[in-house]
Structure 1
């Protein structure tokens, strides 16, 4: 009845070759994207594992009498203390330390975090710029924007004047 064979049409072989090439290119693109996602996920897992290993090997000479979890956090924060520009905010030592808990928004553990990175006095906090605030906020792992909302810089400036 009908003797229509699609392979006998003119250009059928070329169409098959083109479709094969398109399928191969699409397969390559999808495989490449999938592989890149897997690589990113594995790199993230590796970075997380490296941080965990660093926390385990980091010396815990920070604060005696603290629990392990607190010590790990303080060790992690201490490792980033070098990122702060002390030339701008000033240097201080533990012997010059003010009671930072007087500032609204700073509790005992937050004061320990600040001491670990080298911030001991009202004068240092009063010298913070917006860049310093963001950096300290990131280093001490505090709620973003909280330093500005609690106005640490203004409170510290007032307390430094009274001192």
Structure 2
């Protein structure tokens, strides 16, 4: 197990708490459905035209300047966009409306995802294409190679994470 300095551990804990507040904000004020432990960059663009259509599973990572769309004004449609559990969405990726990305997927940086991506897949490009199947990912979409130990979800939830699991008031 790696040992980090006190400053690094404090910074990491503050970041986790802050990101859980961001997730809580999106879920409670905008009506998105973002799972426990999911990390979303502050520069990621979450479509607020149809926020109820944003569904992101648990322990996924949405990196900087990613756009997750739920509306298509050209065709006048609003479609739910779903990202599974334990996924990694690379920087500057664009996830188009109506797309479903399965559990344990990795989407490469700069990819434009126009079609569904099956679970346990690695996809990238413009348009994004599945280039590898049957991959396994752990926390935040980190790839697990054969024989490598998987990082597990944190055992204890912070107060902000517990607030995410409480039912929303109507």
Q: Which has the higher strand share?
A: 2
Bigger relative contact order, structure 1 or 2 (CA pairs below 8 A, ≥6 apart) = 1
Larger-Rg structure: 1
Q: Which has the higher helix share?
A: 1
TM-score, L = length of structure 2: 0.29
TM-score, L = length of structure 1: 0.30
